[in-house]
Amino acid sequence: MSVNIPRGTQDILPGQSEKWQYIESIAKDVCRRYHYKEIRTPIFEHTELFKRSVGDTTDIVQKEMYTFEDRGERSLTLRPEGTAAVVRSFVENKMFGIPDQPVKLFYTGPMFRYERPQAGRYRQFVQFGVEAIGSEDPAIDAEVMALVMAIYKEAGLKKLKLVINSLGDAESRTAHREALVAHFKPRIDEFCSDCQSRLTQNPLRILDCKKDRGHELMATAPSILDYLNEESKAYFEKVTSYLDAMSIEYVIDPTLVRGLDYYNHTAFEIMSEAEGFGAITTLCGGGRYNGLVQQLGGPESPGIGFAFSIERFIAAMEAEQVEWQVDEGLDCFIVAIGDAAKDRSVSLVHDVRAAGLSADRDYQDRKMKAQLKASDRQKARFTAILGEDELAENRITVKDMSGGTQEQVPLNELAAYLKTTMEAN
């Protein structure tokens, strides 16, 4: 009996995995330039962590977590996102004591959400994210957005829309919350059961409801931007002025609310506007979470960050038909004919690899023609042929597949010859 892959997960096979490595290497290099360092946290955490940070009333916590009890009867959860664990680690490792704040971190790894699988939505997906914790300077909000836009730009994506909003501070949010309740309450029975409980638990989330999106009260709902107090307004203006200063284009959308509870002030998402991109167009989400460090037992340390999934990044690259700058080819394929040549090719391929080049040979005892075909299929830059004559004369025939030239090279000089030829053009 064969066993299939679980729903909502995927195998990343050779041919695809190069694309993942490519995106991850761009993202890591941009992080290096912006001075963000890598953090690695566990894939599972205490369930309590997500309840207290992402929020008890969110879809993620209520419906989507992979929660299990371990043999010690502790409730653990496969992480649905990365921010909670990074903040936990920030507190646990007393990173608030580091003299240079904010602490600027990036991470990448699998996340797990029990969602209904569809294009761009998986149950296991890989996020790349950053968190800058320990500063309330609006310049860091702008920096984080500039960083993610730089990653997309570097990869060659163009059809993007950066959407931003301010959710304000606690005072502004309370005022807005009251206005939302007053707006929806008289007609809440026209809304879905989720929205009915959201009205008392978290009325902001009504604005994000997929089912009631078309209800007339949605369009006329009070806008958070009208409830920002002076401080929150000034903060948001600073953020947008810094984006302007860096010529980063954005759209302000007062209906942008995020699906996690820890946000305040700046919230943002990046959408793909490429034709043919699936129904789910959000590539990246992020925002500010002042208060989260305290909520998880640390001192007041304001933070901001974002995360995107590699899955949606790749989908956007494909939708925009961006050319992948990935090198799948092989530097040298060694074709050996006859038993003695085959034996000799073992150390020969080893020498080429030791010199830093990629090399391979036949392991199926194939005839010369089949080996040459294999070299072609594997897009080898050089095909090196070792037959009985060559072996007797201690040389090898090297074909440069890009130019079609052919040379005889002493056996012990093969690696050096390949290197010099490659460096020359």
In the complex, which residues of this chain contact ligand HAM (CB under 6 A)? 81-83, 113, 115, 120-122, 125, 127, 129, 131, 259-260, 282-287, 305-309, 311-312
**Shortest gap between Cβ of 353 and ligand HAM (angstroms)?**
37
Distance between CA atoms of residues 390 and 388, nearest Å: 6
Distance between CA atoms of residues 108 and 38, nearest Å: 8
Distance between CA atoms of residues 111 and 103, nearest Å: 23
> Known binder of ligand: residue 258?
yes
**Shortest gap between Cβ of 197 and ligand HAM (angstroms)?**
20
Number of H helices, E strands in the chain: 15, 16
Q: What's the half-sphere exposure (Cβ side, CA atoms, 13 Å) at 43?
A: 10
Mark residue 73 as left, alpha or beta (left: phi above 0; alpha: psi -120 to 50; beta: remaining).
left
Distance between CA atoms of residues 270 and 162, nearest Å: 5
Q: Which CB atom, from 107 or from 184, has the smaller least distance to ligand HAM?
A: 107
| 110, 126 Cβ separation under 8 angstroms | yes
Strands 66-69 and 44-46: unpaired
Strands 251-252 and 160-166: parallel
Distance between CA atoms of residues 281 and 162, nearest Å: 12
Q: Which CB atom, from 284 or from 418, has the smaller least distance to ligand HAM?
A: 284
Amino acid at position 289, single letter: Y
Q: Which CB atom, from 306 or from 333, has the smaller least distance to ligand HAM?
A: 306
| 110, 125 Cβ separation under 8 angstroms | yes
Strands 330-336 and 359-361: parallel
> Known binder of ligand: residue 344?
no
**Shortest gap between Cβ of 423 and ligand HAM (angstroms)?**
40
**Shortest gap between Cβ of 131 and ligand HAM (angstroms)?**
5
> Known binder of ligand: residue 47?
no
Q: Which CB atom, from 131 or from 390, has the smaller least distance to ligand HAM?
A: 131
Q: Which CB atom, from 302 or from 305, has the smaller least distance to ligand HAM?
A: 305
| Torsion sign (Cα): 200, 203, 205, 210 | positive
> Known binder of ligand: residue 262?
yes
> Known binder of ligand: residue 263?
yes
**Shortest gap between Cβ of 259 and ligand HAM (angstroms)?**
5
**Shortest gap between Cβ of 218 and ligand HAM (angstroms)?**
20
- Residue 324: strand pairing partners: none
Q: Which CB atom, from 154 or from 360, has the smaller least distance to ligand HAM?
A: 154
> Known binder of ligand: residue 131?
yes
Contacts of 76 (CB under 8 A, 6+ apart): 44, 45, 46, 47, 67, 68, 69, 70
| 107, 40 Cβ separation under 8 angstroms | yes
**Shortest gap between Cβ of 58 and ligand HAM (angstroms)?**
9
| 151, 307 Cβ separation under 8 angstroms | no
**Shortest gap between Cβ of 156 and ligand HAM (angstroms)?**
18
> Known binder of ligand: residue 9?
no
Q: Please enumerate, by residue number, every residue annotated as part of a binding site.
A: 81-83, 113, 127, 131, 258, 262-263
Residues comprising the binding site for L-histidine?
81-83, 113, 127, 131, 258, 262-263
